[in-house]
Amino acid sequence: MATSSARNASWLRELGAAEVIDYTTKNFEDEVSNVDVVIDLIGNTHNDTGTRSLPTLRPGGLLVNAPTGSWPTVIEDAHRLGIRATTYKVSPDASTLTIITRLINSGDVLVHVDEVFDLADAAAAHRALESGHTRGKLVLNVADQI
């Protein structure tokens, strides 16, 4: 299950979502309950999405908050409701990046690039990201092909 606007619903189904809730017309917390795991990619940066996710979890369920720092009290808030929570932060290292490169090159992992910006347009890229309506990754082109 995933949430998105209607514009991205078919794309999320292509990625494997069995059900997509259009957050512009429905509150996801009114549509789902007793969920085992929520992977929260927004936190409480907009419309208390993270906090609204907590009641959708079953007792002992797990909320994974990926935008670490966006919701400083996530673990305490979850524990008060009998739910487990953790943050998710990645520290890249050479061996992990080698594995990711192999997976991308083999086609086992696909990366959707929404838009490529020249380095001089980094501020525009940041504004696009902050809009909350990007699909996939934004890329900064820092040098021409070597």
Arithmetic mean of pLDDT over the chain: 90
Instruction: Write the single-letter amino acid at 120.
Output: A
Asked if pLDDT for residue 28 goes beyond 80, the answer is: yes
Comparing CA positions, the residue from 40, 46, 91 lying closest to residue 62 is 40
d(CA 92, CA 108): 20
**Structure-block tokens of residue 132:** 């909350």
User: How many degrees, rounded to 5, is the angle at CA 116 between CA 112 and CA 120?
Assistant: 155
Q: What is the pLDDT of residue 145?
A: 56
In the DSSP assignment, the letter for residue 14 is: H
